[in-house]
């Protein structure tokens, strides 16, 4: 009987946080797993909160037949106020989907050999369901190893420090990581009385319950942190560095355009001459900051390709739960800006084929929001950075990127704005300065290392194989 069970293809179920930024890396993980172990099956369970799923479906429908997906029934948020934090919304999406997750898991376990449940950092409440079903449960960290180290440390920090973290007199020294000042902690940690912080603390305490933790990073990108996580604390679950996992094309992400305008324009620009400017799928600037950025780019006299979105004066992640801005962003640009920069710059609305742009020979720099997906894409393609964090854990990422010397830091004023003169200066420095050349050389070194870890005998491939074999050998029990 046991022999017959092990002849059934092993399946893992991945519970995904809503949002393209979380979906993309786990999709790439699933594709890579199956490329090495074709007998595996992967099913995504995706909780829904009422946000548009059109972009997600386009990506999911393009996947190989061995990867399937299911949207869980939509949860009800009628009791939430309009100003609820994004982190609270994500956590509630998971917690209110547990009953439907239980039903879906039981159903799929009745017809196939499920060997593990893999969840996002925001989905660790699902461990309770996994334990009920005697199912091994893992976490997939879609951000950095430093983010994992921070989550593991947060319960201890909460117990010993009673004030607001932004007022901490000394930086937090996570083993193997660059010191972090409280003001650079993840957004929910800026107000410990907020519900979002309470959720983050609750979920962080559950990370130690995992049977293992996969991280979208590599030993070459975060050597000190990963060494400590993998070798240091006996209370930490096994940590598998399986990255950098990035999307290989943007074709399925485009809803209304194929991005050919951007690529044709880049084809006509000199080698390494263009600064790509984009703040990710969820990032938005204020009206004032949008104006400062536009004029700063113009003052720099450098070539640029800018993905512009309509501004928001209320939230830096205003477009996180939607694929595109509702209003035409061009109407918010300074008068005459498009005419004055015609030829030297190209401005596109809301979306551009980021992978193709970063891999294009004419792209010589990237002004970005320090989201982890974009960071890894930049490293893999060897594009030097200007790190301009907006929300979530992006300030933490930025501190690390500055310390690694693969990103320049813009000058923020007391109001958190980057003024036009400082924008012009940091752009000139990256694209045509001595310091920019040092950044370019450093990220080129990292690019070579990032390619090596994903080869057949690379460290990240070995980590993937290690956890995959563990799953394959799981002593499965029929439900």
Q: Is the peptide bond before 120 cis (omega within 30 degrees of 0)?
A: no
Q: Is 313 a catalytic residue?
A: no
How many Cβ atoms are within 10 Å of 234's Cβ, its own excluded?
A: 5
Q: Is 120 a catalytic residue?
A: yes
DSSP 143-172: S-HHHHHHHHHHHHHHHH--S-GGG-SS-B
Asked whether the CA dihedral 239, 242, 244, 250 is positive or negative, the reply is negative
Pairing between β-strand 363-368 and β-strand 274-277 as defined by DSSP bridges? parallel
Q: Which of 22, 137, 369, 381 is labelled catalytic?
A: 22
Half-sphere exposure of 200 (CA within 13 A, CB side): 27
Q: Which of 303, 463, 293, 275 is nearest to 378 (CA)?
A: 275
Q: Which of 49, 79, 82, 120 is labelled catalytic?
A: 120
DSSP 242-258: ------S--GGG-SS--
Please return the burial class of 70, using the count of CB atoms within 10 Å of its CB with bins 0-12, 13-18 and 19+.
middle
Please return the burial class of 371, using the count of CB atoms within 10 Å of its CB with bins 0-12, 13-18 and 19+.
buried
Quick one: how far is CA 379 from the chain centroid?
A: 14
Tokens 């029934």 label which residue? 73
Annotated catalytic sites, by residue? 22, 120
């Amino acid at each position: 009987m046991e022999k017959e069970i092990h002849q059934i293809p092993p399946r893992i179920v991945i519970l995904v946080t809503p949002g393209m930024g979380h979906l993309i890396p786990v999709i790439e993980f699933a594709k890579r797993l199956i490329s090495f172990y074709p007998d595996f099956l992967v099913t995504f369970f995706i909780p829904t909160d009422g946000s548009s799923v059109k972009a997600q479906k386009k990506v999911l429908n393009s996947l190989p037949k061995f990867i399937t997906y299911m949207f869980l029934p939509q949860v009800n948020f009628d009791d939430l106020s309009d100003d609820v934090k994004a982190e609270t919304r994500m956590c509630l999406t998971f917690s209110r989907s547990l009953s439907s997750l239980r039903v879906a898991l039981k159903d799929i376990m009745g017809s196939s050999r499920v060997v593990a449940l893999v969840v996002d950092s925001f989905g660790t409440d699902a461990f309770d369901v996994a334990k009920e079903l005697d199912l091994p449960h893992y976490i997939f960290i879609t951000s950095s190893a430093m983010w994992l180290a921070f989550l593991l440390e947060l319960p201890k920090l909460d117990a010993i420090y009673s004030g607001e973290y932004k007022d901490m007199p000394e930086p937090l020294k996570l083993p193997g990581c660059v010191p972090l000042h409280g003001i650079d902690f993840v957004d929910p940690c800026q107000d410990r009385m907020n519900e979002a912080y309470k959720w983050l603390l609750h979920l962080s305490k559950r990370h130690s319950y995992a049977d293992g933790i996969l991280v979208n990073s590599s030993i070459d990108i975060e050597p000190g942190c990963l060494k400590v996580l993998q070798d240091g604390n006996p209370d930490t679950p096994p940590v598998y560095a399986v990255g950098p996992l990035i999307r290989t094309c943007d074709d399925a992400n485009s809803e209304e355009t194929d991005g050919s305008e951007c690529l044709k324009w880049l084809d006509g620009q000199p080698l390494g001459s263009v600064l790509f400017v984009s703040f990710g799928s969820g990032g938005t600037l204020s009206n004032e900051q949008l104006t400062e950025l536009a004029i700063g780019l113009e003052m720099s006299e450098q070539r640029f390709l800018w993905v512009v979105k309509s501004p928001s004066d209320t939230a830096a992640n205003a477009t996180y739960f939607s694929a595109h801005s509702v209003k035409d962003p061009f109407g918010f640009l300074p008068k005459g800006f498009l005419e004055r920069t015609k030829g030297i710059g190209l401005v596109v609305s809301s979306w551009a084929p980021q992978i193709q742009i970063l891999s294009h020979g004419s792209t010589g720099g990237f002004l970005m929001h320090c989201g982890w997906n974009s960071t890894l894409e930049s490293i893999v393609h060897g594009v030097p950075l200007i790190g301009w964090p907006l929300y979530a854990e992006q300030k933490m990422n930025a501190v690390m990127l500055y310390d690694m010397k693969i990103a320049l830091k813009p000058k923020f004023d007391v109001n958190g704005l980057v003024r036009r003169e400082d924008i012009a200066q940091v752009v000139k420095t990256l694209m045509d300065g001595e310091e920019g050349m040092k950044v370019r050389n450093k990220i080129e070194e990292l690019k070579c290392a990032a390619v090596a870890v994903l080869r057949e005998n690379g460290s990240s491939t070995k980590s993937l194989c290690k956890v995959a074999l563990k799953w394959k050998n799981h002593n499965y029990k029929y439900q």
